[in-house]
Amino acid sequence: MNTQQIVTTKSGVQKIGKPVSPELPRVKDPNMNLRDRLNDILLMEKQNLSNYQTGINEMINDDLRQLLIDNRNRLQGIQVRFFEELFNLGEYQADLASPAQIADSADVFTGYKTQLPLKQ
Q: Which pLDDT does position 24 carry in this prediction?
A: 80
Q: What is the distance between the alpha carbons of residues 41 and 82, in angstroms, rounded to a whole number? A: 8
Q: Which domain holds residue 76?
A: 1-9+31-95
Q: What is the distance between the alpha carbons of residues 104 and 93, in angstroms, rounded to a whole number? A: 21
Q: What is the distance between the alpha carbons of residues 86 and 89, in angstroms, rounded to a whole number? A: 5
Amino acid code (one letter) for 103: A
> For each successive 10 residues of the chain (120 residues), what is the average pLDDT?
80 83 80 88 94 96 97 95 90 86 89 77
Q: Supply the DSSP string of 58-107, one letter for each residue.
A: H--SHHHHHHHHHHHHHHHHHHHHHHHHHHHTT---EE---HHHHHHHHH
Q: Which pLDDT does position 33 carry in this prediction?
A: 84
Q: Which pLDDT does position 50 carry in this prediction?
A: 96
- Residue at 1 is within a domain: yes
- Residue at 61 is within a domain: yes
- Residue at 14 is within a domain: no
Q: Which pLDDT does position 120 carry in this prediction?
A: 58
* Per-residue model confidence as pLDDT tens digits over 51-62: 999 999 999 999
How many structural domains compose the chain? 1
